Structures are given as structure tokens and as C-alpha cells.
Amino acid sequence: MSSTMNPYLSFRDNAAEAMAFYQSVFGGTLESTSFGEMHASEDPAEDMKVMHSQLTTDSGFILMASDTPNSMELDEGSSYSISLSGDDGDELRGYWDRLLDGGTMVLPLEKAPWGDTFGMLDDRFGTSWMVSISAPQSGAEAGS
């Protein structure tokens, strides 16, 4: 049996907008269920809030999110980052550019002291992202 770990983001009332944005960045299939559809809202005014949303991409990413009912506390402080890494520079730069649209660059995507290309940003929804593109391996290192 295998296990997985998937980021699960919490929003106050814009999970649908955020997840549509992430789908525009990463592609994939987006499924979403509202509190009203599940007959789970305490306040009818919150029926349209997202109870659960899941984006599954062709690259194998799974990102989940929900809205937080007003009756529940939401800590909007960012004590986490989602990390994207790999050796496909074009793909990762594309994610970077799309995530940065409307967001804030924290650290430019550029060559880091350890040789990889690395950058950090906060997207328009306040989610922190780290992008790391592996440095190409030289022939001697690649064969060892």
C-alpha cells in the first residue's frame, strides 16, 4: 500500500477563484463540491462556499482547497510554502510566470549559490511558492 501527501489550502471565501487560477497555471481536472451541495452549511448564506476542491494535473500534482465557514477560525498567516522542483526548466518557468501574475516576487528566479535556479513568490491569493530548477549535471557527475 502506498501513501501520498498533498497540499490542502484554506481560504475564507475565494477557494473557487483560487482553484480556477491554479487550474489555469497547472492544467488538469478540477472537481469541487459546495457546502450547500453536501447539506453541510450552518448558514444558508454560505451554501456556495467550497467544502472541498481537488485539482489533479497531468503531471501528477494534486492540490486541494476549501473555504472556511465564518463560524470557524482561519489563520491567514503563511507559515508554509509549496515547493515545485525538477529539471524541466521550461515547465517550471512557465509555472513561475503564471503564479507570479498578480502576485509578489519574494526572491527572483535565478541561479542560486548551490547551482540550481531558485526563486520564491507569493501568488495573488497569498500562497507562498518556491521553485527550484535542477542544475544540469556534467558528464562526469551524471555517470556516477
Tens of pLDDT, residues 65-103: 999 999 889 887 656 899 999 999 999 999 999 999 999
pTM, rounded to two decimals: 0.87
Cβ atoms within 10 A of the Cβ of 29, count? 10
CATH number at residue 34: 3.10.180.10
Domain boundary residue among 38, 67, 96? 67
Q: Are residues 54 and 89 in the same domain?
A: no
**Residue 78 CB-density burial (10 A; 0-12 exposed, 13-18 middle, 19+ buried):** exposed
Low-confidence ranges of the chain (pLDDT < 50): 140-144
Give the per-residue pLDDT at 109: 98
C-alpha cell belonging to residue 94: 512557465
Give the per-residue pLDDT at 139: 58
Q: Are residues 57 and 105 in the same domain?
A: no
44 found inside a domain: yes
Cβ atoms within 10 A of the Cβ of 34, count? 19
Q: How many domains does the chain have?
A: 2
Cβ atoms within 10 A of the Cβ of 38, count? 11
Cβ atoms within 10 A of the Cβ of 121, count? 20
Range of the domain at 42: 8-67
Residue pair 130/120 in contact (Cβ under 8 Å)? The answer is: yes
C-alpha cell belonging to residue 21: 487560477
Residue pair 119/131 in contact (Cβ under 8 Å)? The answer is: yes
Give the per-residue pLDDT at 142: 47
Q: Are residues 63 and 87 in the same domain?
A: no
Q: Are residues 56 and 104 in the same domain?
A: no
Q: Residue 24 corresponds to which amino acid?
A: S
Q: Are residues 53 and 86 in the same domain?
A: no
